[in-house]
């Protein structure tokens, strides 16, 4: 299997604080990979490094065997990697439809066009409509994103992330703050939408992690202490001690 994302000895320090220490990680093409770890372990920082929001202090990050560390977020996005945010990060004053459309425009090749009517682009309409239906927000199409319920905003967040057609998806705690029923629906949505794509997901809900992931990596104090299938991780004494044990107790 070819690799989608590869981290080689990645480090990140803020001043003297090393937040990420010598992290090496491989996510295979088409794999659903979960990243777990206690609060403050550096999971979100790792996402910020992979997506180009931050630059690693050392080491390199590769997307399909090409180095992406040092590139800007939009350059990485154009290469087919898209991420969501832990705190909902949408275009609050624009409608659901417009939000999704913004995420479709670059991928459909319209870029900075100022000579086309945005409402009349058939492939943009088609793709936006598909995503809108996928995330079950057809009925909320013309509502400004800022007025959606929390769960709806989370769905829109995922919609924006996948709308550009990226085949490597990074989701940062997509079910955080959701009720049990909402979480179940969100997991179903994620499973369906990431079909055939590579997924790297940060998640706190262990039922989500073990139900969704093909492989799991455990990040503690900026270091990956274990990486493997859900069974391996469940049986790993180091993980139990550092993380899962705490949860169980």
Neighbours of 146 (CB within 10 A): 12
Interaction of residue 167 with another protein, rule CB under 8 A: no
- The residue within the footprint of another protein, chosen from 115, 192, 196, 249 (CB under 8 A), is 115
- The residue within the footprint of another protein, chosen from 113, 195, 241, 245 (CB under 8 A), is 113
Interaction of residue 63 with another protein, rule CB under 8 A: no
**10 vs 103, which CB is nearer to another protein?**
103
Token look-up 């057609």 returns 165
Nearest approach, Cβ of 237 to another protein (angstroms)? 38
Q: What's the CA angle centered on 168, arms 112 and 153, to 5 degrees?
A: 70
Interaction of residue 78 with another protein, rule CB under 8 A: yes
CB 56 within 8 A of CB 10: yes
Q: Which residues, numbered 38-57, are part of the site for another protein (CB under 8 A)? A: 51-52
* Ordered alpha helix ranges (H), the chain: 43-50, 73-78, 96-105, 122-134, 150-163, 180-193, 206-212, 230-235, 237-239, 245-248
Interaction of residue 92 with another protein, rule CB under 8 A: yes
What is d(CA 7, CA 24) in angstroms, rounded to the nearest whole number?
A: 5
Interaction of residue 59 with another protein, rule CB under 8 A: no
| Stretch of 10-18, 79-87, 172-180, 226-234 lying at the interface with another protein (CB under 8 A) | 79-87
CB 176 within 8 A of CB 204: yes
Work out the burial of residue 110: count CB atoms within 10 Å of its CB; fewer than 13 is exposed, 13-18 middle, 19 or more buried: middle
The count of chain residues that interact with another protein, using the rule CB under 8 A, is: 51
- The residue within the footprint of another protein, chosen from 58, 129, 176, 206 (CB under 8 A), is 129
Q: Which residues, numbered 137-166, are part of the site for another protein (CB under 8 A)? A: 138, 141-142, 160-161, 163-164
**105 vs 216, which CB is nearer to another protein?**
105
Q: What's the CA angle centered on 164, arms 159 and 170, to 5 degrees?
A: 65
CB 214 within 8 A of CB 231: no
- Residues within the interface to another protein (CB under 8 A): 51-52, 72-74, 77-78, 82-83, 85, 89-94, 97-98, 101-103, 105-107, 110-122, 125-126, 128-130, 132-133, 138, 141-142, 160-161, 163-164
């Amino acid at each position: 299997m070819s690799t989608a994302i590869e981290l080689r000895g990645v480090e990140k320090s803020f001043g003297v604080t090393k937040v990420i220490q010598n992290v090496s990680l491989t996510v295979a093409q088409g794999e659903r990979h979960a990243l777990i770890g206690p609060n403050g372990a550096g999971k979100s920082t790792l996402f910020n490094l992979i997506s180009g929001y931050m630059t690693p202090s050392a080491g390199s990050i590769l997307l399909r065997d090409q180095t992406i560390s040092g590139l800007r977020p939009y350059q990485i996005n154009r290469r087919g990697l898209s991420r969501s945010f832990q705190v909902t990060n949408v275009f609050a004053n624009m409608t659901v439809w417009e939000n999704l459309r913004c995420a479709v425009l670059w991928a459909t090749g319209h870029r900075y066009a100022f000579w086309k009517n945005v409402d009349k682009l058939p492939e943009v309409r088609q793709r936006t409509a598909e995503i809108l239906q996928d995330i079950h927000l057809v009925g909320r199409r013309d509502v400004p994103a800022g007025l959606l319920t929390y769960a709806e905003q989370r769905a829109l967040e995922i919609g924006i992330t996948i709308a550009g057609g990226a085949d490597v998806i990074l989701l940062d705690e997509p079910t955080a703050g959701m009720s049990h029923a909402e979480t179940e629906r969100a997991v179903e949505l994620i499973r369906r939408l990431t079909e055939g794509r590579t997924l790297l997901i940060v998640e706190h809900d262990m039922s989500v992690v073990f139900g969704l992931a093909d492989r799991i990596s455990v990040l503690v104090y900026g270091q990956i202490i274990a990486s493997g299938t859900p069974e391996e991780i469940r049986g790993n004494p180091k993980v139990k001690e550092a993380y899962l044990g705490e949860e169980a107790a």
